[in-house]
Chain A
Amino acid sequence: MFDLKKYNFTEAETGISDFSKLGEADRQRLLYSGIDVSEQGRSGSFLHMNHEGGRCQSSQPGLELMNIKDALQRFDGLPQYYWKLLNPDQDEISRSAAQNLHGGYFIRAKKGAKITEPVQSCLFIKGNGVGQNVHNLIIVEEGAELNIISGCATAEGTSEAAHLGISELYVEKGGKLTFTMIHNWGENVAVRPRSAGVVAAEGSLVNNYVLLQPVHDVTMYPTISLNGENAVARFNSVIVAPAGSYVDTGNRLLLNAPGTRGEIIARTLTTGGTIINRGFIGGYAAPAKGHLECKGLVLGEGRIHAIPELDAKADGVELSHEAAVGKIAQEEIEYLMARGLDEGEATSTIVRGFLNVDIMGLPKELQKAMDDEIQRLNAAGGM
């Protein structure tokens, strides 16, 4: 059972001001969560460690990047945005984050600004038993474009911790947001994000989630509402659960305006862990179109429970889903073996392909980490 009292939300090792203060092992862990400590090819960088914010750098005109605490102060509490999509009394997670805010990021692309290179934001925990409360706010103003990589990681040697994260995101008229969240937690880390977003007319959201490493448990089920005409959203998730991981995730997409479209694509792989893969698309205005795809591979003793849901309440809504859970088809393995690959090579090639969801802006190293992980599973006989 998840018990907030187990974690220390008041005391922890103080934060660091810069990536350069990190040791090599921790840099590597950040890399595997999509954070490039050299900051090459990044429009901005943000680092929050334990209970306080550190590095916050951006030189791009039209991009605001700051600690949420500073933003609340500077913008009079951000009454239009702060706690507008989520309810601080929703549950103990939300209450904890509302009552004892440690920080989080505020990222805003100003009207018309095109921020093409990703802004990277890192939420980092170091020290066993640390509980972290963050609140993140993303705003893409009218006609602006923004690409965010949000990497979450624990330090080398930190195995037990809790991360509670509130995220609210706003895509205003004609705005474009690509948001990629990569988790690299530890075996005993409990992760409780609570997220919601709205997309206005002609806006678009691409939301990616990558979890390749062990975690104790993650539960999250963000809701994105397409509230303006012709708004579009696409969700890609790549989830790997080794033995001991319990992952209960999914996306809820509400098509609330005519002409809205959305797609939710999930690729899940268990090598011993449990994955509950949820998905919900509600079509509440016509015309609207939505497609949901949950595909799972079970290798070994794991479990995948796919729960796709569709709800249509307007004439002219088209919703579909495709769910498939199972093992690798022998036919595919043999096809590759006939081309000279041995069984292990064939299996890992298929798994790599299965998890190969195109996600833009990921560091090469992360792609490599994904490959390494597949090789490792393969070598360990997990496949």
Chain B
Amino acid sequence: MLQIKDLHVEIAGNEVLKGVNLHIKPGETFILFGPNGSGKTTLLMTLMGFADYKITKGSIVFKGRDVTRAPMYERARLGLGMSFQRPPTIHGLPVRTLLEMCAKVGQASSSAGAQAAEASDSEAMDLDALARRVNFERFLGRDVNAGFSGGEIKRSEMLQLMAQKPDLLLFDEPESGVDLENMAVIGQAARRLLGGECEDGAEDCPKRQTMKSGKSGLIITHTGYILDYVNADRGQVMYEGQLCCEARPLEILEHVRKFGYQECLRCFMDEKQTIALNLPR
């Protein structure tokens, strides 16, 4: 699904990502941990294609296509979707209109794929039903993000992705600024997105759902709350622009809770030394 090789990224002349390698397979969900400022959001923004994130070296291959230099909309149309942490307000643009645009993109990208377009068509049309799943039906007439609370922003982001139906979902801290009640709604929405929009009640285990749907995820989390809802296969810690310490996400979470990221740093330094020692050979 996604193959990142030796990715170096600069923001305003400062190198933030310093050689990131990452491979996410179809149906796999990857969790990104790391302290503030380590480069997690930068990685997501770079994958999505934001202009201020300058790739100086390395490559991004998505669904077999090199998108390292591709414009944002091409990536979106190819099936890459992102939930924003702090999205801008767009005055005069009702949520419903934006959802219609997302649905159009979603249909275009899914019809290119092998999925049954028929079912997705009828579902995409019924935006009200979609909105009800995240308790958002009352907001469809409101301007996008205008005066939304933290939880409302997150629900709106989830809803847009539900209309867009991406194959690789990038979630930037889906739990930040969200109360527990909203967390459940958002968590369930994330699970559905990764599980390929399964119907309510169809209680399959999240892992099997995700595997079946072939949807992949890349999730940034600090608190790990999202792990209560989605099945995460692998995780890694981002530290100073590099990925280290691959392990099962819950293990990483527990480790960070107990020892903090300082411990990661030590481990990371050890790894580096090992590499350095190995180099002459």
Contacts and interface: CB of A to CB of B under 8 A. Distances in A.
Interface of A: 329-332, 334-343, 345-346, 349-350, 352-357
Given A330-B51, A332-B88, A334-B50, A349 B72 contact: no
30 contacts: A329-B88, A334-B51, A334-B72, A335-B84, A335-B90, A337-B49, A337-B71, A337-B76, A338-B76, A338-B82, A339-B76, A339-B98, A339-B101, A339-B102, A339-B105, A340-B73, A340-B76, A340-B77, A340-B101, A341-B73, A342-B73, A349-B101, A350-B93, A352-B93, A353-B90, A353-B91, A353-B92, A354-B91, A355-B92, A357-B92
A214 B219 CA distance: 50
Contact of B101 (A332, A341, A357): A341
Contacts of A349: 90, 93, 101
B143 interface: yes
Across the A-B interface, give the 7 residue pairs with the lowest CB-CB distance, nearest first.
Answer: A353-B92, A340-B105, A356-B92, A340-B76, A353-B93, A337-B72, A342-B73
Contact of B90 (A340, A342, A350, A357): A350
A354 B144 CA distance: 12
A263 to B, nearest CB: 16
Contacts of A356: 91-93
Nearest to B163: A339
Nearest to A356: B92
A331 B93 contact: no
A380 B114 CA distance: 38
A291 to B, nearest CB: 16
Interface string B59-85: 000000000000111001100011010
A349 B50 CA distance: 19
Interface string B150-171: 0000000000100010000000
Contact of A338 (B72, B91, B93, B109): B72
A336 B108 CA distance: 16
B179 to A, nearest CB: 24
Contacts of B108: 340
Nearest to A355: B92
Contacts of A331: 88
B230 interface: no
Contacts of B87: 335
A342 B84 CA distance: 18
Given A334-B72, A353-B143, A339 B90 contact: no
A344 to B, nearest CB: 10
Contacts of B88: 329, 331-332, 335
Contacts of B50: 334
Nearest to B143: A353
Contacts of A355: 92
B48 interface: yes
Contacts of A337: 49, 71-73, 76
A210 to B, nearest CB: 15
Contacts of B82: 338
A374 to B, nearest CB: 12
A332 to B, nearest CB: 5
Contacts of A346: 73
Most central of A341, A342, A349 by chain B CB within 10 Å: A341
A340 B107 CA distance: 11
A356 B84 CA distance: 25
Given A329-B88, A331-B88, A334-B72, A339 B93 contact: no
Nearest to B86: A331
Contacts of A354: 91-92
A179 to B, nearest CB: 22
Contact of A339 (B91, B92, B164): B164
Contacts of B101: 336, 339-341, 349
Nearest to A351: B92
A354 B50 CA distance: 23
A330 B90 CA distance: 12
Interface in B96-145: 98, 101-102, 104-105, 108-109, 143
Given A332-B90, A337-B76, 15 more contacts: A329-B88, A334-B51, A334-B72, A335-B88, A338-B84, A339-B76, A340-B76, A340-B77, A340-B101, A340-B109, A342-B71, A349-B101, A352-B93, A353-B91, A356-B93
